[in-house]
Structure 1
Amino acid sequence: MLCAFMVFAGAGGAWAQSTVLNELTSRQDGRQWASVGRLDIAGKGFCTASLIREDLILTAAHCIYDRDNTAISANRFTFSAGLREGRAEAYRSIAGVVAHSDFRPGGAIEASEVAHDLALLRLTQPIRLPSLAPYPIAGSPRRGDTVGVVSYAKGREEAPSLQEICDVLGQQDGVIILTCEVDFGASGSPVFRDNNGILEIVSIVSAMSETNGRPISLGASLGAPLDALVQEIDDMQTGLPQSITPGQRRDTGAKFIRP
């Protein structure tokens, strides 16, 4: 629930290191982050997604549901990898979509919803470019760890922005609580950890709020939930656009804000 997250996050007190958002408008600035892209959704808007395999991108599950909480057809999505000022490193349409089976669209944003706010989309054609390497997935960060977020969002739709340093306030019921600043469109943004020069995704952005007048964001843990999703999407038939079956999820009560 909201109050439980606020109390837990308020105990962190680790905002001192956090940096501001920097827009990555040049090719040189965005080179490391080119495998992050804007996921456009016809008739809805956009989210942020990242390449984790040549044929798979990772985003938040709530991005793949329409306003009436029905699943969005795969043919309404377009992924623009490394999009900057109207040009992308690669464009792909989507062949298949799957969300975690424990995610329920609409209603309350509770710990269980954030923890399972994960979706995978299979690209119609793999991206095989040296400049667009898939990001490895790593275990959940621990309290006090330093991470970074790359996102597209409201007011900065045409180029990604990087918050290079923000802090992990803690983890609760599979939810990562962060000092990272996010806004609408940033849903699904990858949370990175630098492991000796190798960028690893340790979470993705699910929701945003504030505590003591300071912004916080909530991210989903990866690991076993993501492994299950990869297996599920690999088991799906390919060839025609697919998506999860509408009506599979149940409703819940009141919420955090989805970015």
Structure 2
Amino acid sequence: MRAFLAGLAIALLPVLGAAENSRLQSLDTTDTGRAWEAVGRLDINGAGFCTGTLIAPDLVLTAAHCLYDKRTGRRIDPAAMEFRAGWRNGRASAYRRVRQAVAHPGYVYDGAVSADRVRHDVALLELDRPVRNTTVLPFTIAGQPRRGARVGVVSYAKGRAEAPSLQRVCDVMARQQGVVVMSCDVDFGSSGAPVFSFDGGVPRIVSVVSAKAEMRGARVALGSEIEGQIALLQAQLSSGRSHAVIAAPGANRVRVNGARNRTGARFIRVKPAGSGG
């Protein structure tokens, strides 16, 4: 099934051409991974993974769709999730189970791939115990990225599940309806990966990867703007409004050439307006 991002008229907007992006750098050694230990692999129900990031000792930021079973459309029990901070070559700096999880209240996991779905594809996980490790320092949140900004992504993905990779330079090509279009190199499993700005030489999270897409024949990443959303998610956690294990209405999974994605990130193709079915 090919899913189109209907409702986004990105093809009609002026889109910046991407400058030369940096290549992926594997963070598979202690030296290369030292600054990124707060990015971890979120293992889900023994069946797949997403990428998550500590933004507080006991809070992990990821994508909302990672909280759903892609075969059934049902919410996954948070107890079936484990966050592995700095996971690299079979070891992590910290292992934590998830106590509760909340997604943006506007997020709906169903078959309709839309601007609303990507814009609200943000979740916050509360860990069973805080990570108190001097080598694992949570990242802070910055304002929304501007069009033309240079950003970077740290993610796990298909073919690089045993160590994260850093792409230090990619571009924000467009922003619309709370969706950020970037030239970053992401793949299955990159869902929930942090997008960083490096203003002042300090990495701060400005977006979360929601999906990989194709636009005008070029591969792009789609992210959610997170400014203002973190406080909302924290309030939900504090009030006890965490995820219940319920079925999502009409849920189905996005497939590429009929193959199931077992690792997280959704593939979609941005349909140019007026291009036909």
Query: What SS does structure 2 have at the residue aligned with 1:4?
Result: coil
Matched, 1:30 2:48: no
Where do 5+ consecutive residues of structure 2 fail to align?
256-264, 268-277
Report the Cα offset of residue 89 of structure 1: 0.7
* CA–CA distance in structure 2, aligned partners of residues 212 and 114 of structure 1: 19
Give the counterpart of 2:204 among 188, 200, 203.
200
Greater mean deviation of Cα atoms: 66-75 or 249-258? 249-258
* CA–CA distance in structure 1, aligned partners of residues 87 and 253 of structure 2: 34
- The runs of 4+ residues in structure 1 deviating greater than 6 Å are 252-257
Give the counterpart of 1:180 among 157, 176, 184.
184
Match of 1:258 in 2: 266
Query: What SS does structure 2 have at the residue aligned with 1:28?
Result: helix
Give the counterpart of 1:232 among 229, 233, 236.
236
* CA–CA distance in structure 2, aligned partners of residues 232 and 254 of structure 1: 27
* CA–CA distance in structure 1, aligned partners of residues 142 and 249 of structure 2: 30
Match of 1:168 in 2: 172
* CA–CA distance in structure 2, aligned partners of residues 28 and 114 of structure 1: 34
Report the Cα offset of residue 112 of structure 1: 0.6
* CA–CA distance in structure 2, aligned partners of residues 38 and 28 of structure 1: 19
Q: Map residues 72-221 of structure 1 onto 2, 5 A cutoff.
A: 72-221=76-225
* CA–CA distance in structure 2, aligned partners of residues 128 and 63 of structure 1: 25
Report the Cα offset of residue 22 of structure 1: 1.3
Query: What SS does structure 2 have at the residue aligned with 1:62?
Result: helix
Report the Cα offset of residue 106 of structure 1: 2.4
Deviations 1:211-233 (A, max 9, x none): 23221011011122221111111
> Is the CA contact 2:209–2:224 (under 8 Å) kept in the aligned structure 1?
yes
> Is the CA contact 2:157–2:189 (under 8 Å) kept in the aligned structure 1?
yes
> Is the CA contact 1:108–1:253 (under 8 Å) kept in the aligned structure 2?
no
* CA–CA distance in structure 2, aligned partners of residues 5 and 16 of structure 1: 22
Report the Cα offset of residue 251 of structure 1: 4.3
Report the Cα offset of residue 133 of structure 1: 1.0
* CA–CA distance in structure 1, aligned partners of residues 125 and 152 of structure 2: 23
> Is the CA contact 2:152–2:167 (under 8 Å) kept in the aligned structure 1?
yes
Give the counterpart of 1:7 among 8, 11, 25.
11
Amino acid at match of 1:18: N
Match of 1:246 in 2: 246
Q: Mark the CA change 1:250 to 1:103 in structure 2 (over 3 Å): closer, same or farther.
A: farther
> Is the CA contact 1:110–1:255 (under 8 Å) kept in the aligned structure 2?
no
Amino acid at match of 1:28: D
* CA–CA distance in structure 1, aligned partners of residues 209 and 183 of structure 2: 11
The two structures, once aligned, show a CA RMSD in angstroms of 2.1
TM-score normalised by L of structure 1: 0.91
> Is the CA contact 2:63–2:122 (under 8 Å) kept in the aligned structure 1?
yes
> Is the CA contact 1:55–1:127 (under 8 Å) kept in the aligned structure 2?
yes
**Percent identity between the two aligned chains:** 43
Deviations 1:157-196 (A, max 9, x none): 0000011100001211011110001100000000000121
Where do 5+ consecutive residues of structure 1 fail to align?
none
Matched, 1:57 2:65: no
Deviations 1:108-137 (A, max 9, x none): 221111110011111111011121111101
Count of aligned residue pairs for this structure pair: 253
Deviations 1:222-248 (A, max 9, x none): 1222211111112228xxxx633414x
